[in-house]
A and B are shown apart, each in its own frame.
Chain A
Amino acid sequence: MLSLGRHDFGDGEALMMAIVNRTPDSFFDKGATWAEDAAFERVRLVASQGAEIVDIGGIKAAPGVEIGAAEEKARVVDFVARVREEFPALVISVDTWRAEVGDAVCAAGADLINDAWGGADPELVDVAAAHGAAIVCTHTGGVTPRTRPYRIEYDDVFRDAIDSTLGYAQRALDAGVAKESIVIDPAHDFGKNTFHSLEITRRLGEMVETGWPVLVSLSNKDFVGETLDQPVGERLLGTLAATSVCALAGARIYRVHQVPETRQTVDMVWTIAGRRRPTRAIRGLQ
């Protein structure tokens, strides 16, 4: 069982985590949902598209204007409360590395803390434990939040990702987060060049074999763009191809911009893998 705050899921389910940016400058939507009402419309849309999780973020991952904890909270806390009230069936995730922000959003109704920066703030696990929230343990190679990878190399990037995410998961367990509420994420492009992200994708099955539920965040990222020489906005096909590989390996949660496209891709692969029935098969069986 996977337990994300107020919501439980069976082991056979693949979940869509839709990205909702409360930022003026994120790379894909370029501020399209910066205004609160626009962000709320985005939540409404992805909920209607069947996303189980919304991942609300107040700070873009790439370097840029410094956003303090107070400003980050101003962007996400009340918004979380509003989503909680109007969409009780949605899992609310908040993309933050700060314990102070994690505490405030969990108090406002968040179920899951998506720490994309690999435990940079050591108190984040205590916040998750205190609120009974779930946590995503990512691998970043130890970089400082909001920095780009620069000449980072690993003896074995995959080994590093496994050791680091399992170490983080153990810290979460030790802090009192429930075992079924811990998710691991190799974090494509975070502390990784394109070759690293491709290897992580190729070897994702080994990560699934650890037994921890695996989240993948592939959507429109630079490793897709560089692999295919495609700009942001032209990366959906590459994203879905990478999604297929991760789905076949058994990744459980897909952090995405495009929900219906990813859902169809994952459902197709999940069914090929024998983890899901066809929706409606009659051809040749009449």
Chain B
Amino acid sequence: MTRVALVPGCLALLPEYASLDDPVEELRSACLAAVAWLNEDVRVVAGAQGARVASALLAEVGAAPTSSAEAAYLIVGNGSARRSEKAPGHLDPRAAGFDELLARSLAKPDADALGALDRGLAAELWADVDPIVESADLLRGVDTVAIDYDADPYGVRYWVARWAQRA
């Protein structure tokens, strides 16, 4: 059975950036649980930084990225980093609407909507969605198992989501 998970490319998840008090404790535990749930060879769909996050999470649960065609998929992407005045990219009023569309499309999941996301707008909103757009087809014929995490604790919208192939 194909399993697919989404985690954000939050660099605070990397061991080299660990603090004494984990600022992303809840996010990290959701990510680790989702990655552990993939439970087999995992193919990573991510940009360069996202791939590092994926590798770190996989290593944490004792797995490693693979190129096997039979693998589960781990997508690394997130919503806008311009969601508030304190956000990394300051406030862009378009961020909320963009993220809501993305949230709905992930929850459903709506592969057509995800594949048609406006990548130009996403770039302006500092949203890392290319891996999501590129893997939209993976989300045809799957059901959402859970949206394990959905929040923007530091001005960036994160989701941890799990999907599994329809029985």
Contacts and interface: CB of A to CB of B under 8 A. Distances in A.
Contacts of B81: 286
Interface stretch (B13-21, B35-43, B63-71, B141-149): B13-21
Interface in A192-240: none
A211 B18 CA distance: 28
Interface in A258-282: 276-282
Contacts of A64: none
Contacts, number: 36
B10 interface: yes
B23 interface: yes
Contact of B10 (A276, A280, A285): A285
A10 interface: no
Contacts of B11: 284-286
Tell me what chain A mostly uses at the interface: helix, strand, loop, or mixed. loop
A286 B154 contact: yes
Contacts of A281: 12, 17, 19, 23
Contacts of B156: 286
Contacts of B155: 286
B138 interface: no
Nearest to B152: A286
A276 B19 CA distance: 9
Contacts of B24: 282
Given A285-B10, A286-B154, A279 B20 contact: yes
A200 B21 CA distance: 36
Contacts of B23: 280-282
Interface of A: 276-282, 284-286
